[in-house]
Amino acid sequence: MTTILRIDGSARTEGSVTRDLTGRLVSRLGESNPDARVVTRDLLDGIPLLDNAATVGTALPAEDRTSAQVEALVESDALVAEFLEADFVVLGSPIYNFSVPAAVKAYFDQIARAGLTFKYTEGMPVGLVPDRPTYVVVASGGVGIGSDYDFATPYVRQFLGFLGIGNVHIVGADMLNFDAEAALARAGDQIDAALMATSGV
């Protein structure tokens, strides 16, 4: 069965542009993949921050972890399994203060696991996540996507690439505070283009 993983990182539950656009994208993906199941991960529900037990535990073989370390990694293990199972990933991440929301960074910290989603080699780390279509919905009030002030989209691309995902499509509704109608129109066009680019996947 095809799985679509929807990840919402906005702190807003009402009037959120990224939530609206991720919903639209997931709906469109569902139309072309009628057998798909949608798994929703709302980061507003809470993502644990890394602590000492989790950080130390990730560096140890599973059989050598203490009970506290095992417990500290329960949520991370579940998030990694959920992420690896997805055939399509739709991530909504507004730009807060020039970068991603803290919840998105916390989520990335939980799924970046040596031996599970990447591995170390003699030369450089290698991603272990099989490539899959990944749509990153970004909204901003006053930061232009791709501008010198946008530290969010390069970071997300770098992180996903680090895990092995290169099939990344950015859907941007930027500069909303200046011309929301134009920004939403651009985002709609980018959704069409992203889905067309991955229609054969």
What is the DSSP secondary structure assignment for residue 62, as one 8-state letter?
G
State how far the Cα of 75 lies from the Cα of 185, in Å rounded to an integer. Answer: 38
Token reading at 72: 């500290």
Q: pLDDT-derived band of residue 175, with 50, 70 and 90 as boundaries?
A: very high
Q: In what order do the strands lie in the sheet with 134-139?
A: 37-42, 3-8, 88-92, 134-139, 168-173
- Summarised one tens digit per residue, pLDDT across range 43-75 is 999 999 999 999 999 999 999 999 999 999 999
Question: Which pTM value belongs to this model?
Answer: 0.95
Q: What is the pLDDT of residue 73?
A: 97
Burial (CB count within 10 angstroms: exposed 0-12, middle 13-18, buried 19+), residue 59: exposed
**CA–CA distance from 178 to each of 8, 137, 143 (Å)?**
24, 19, 10
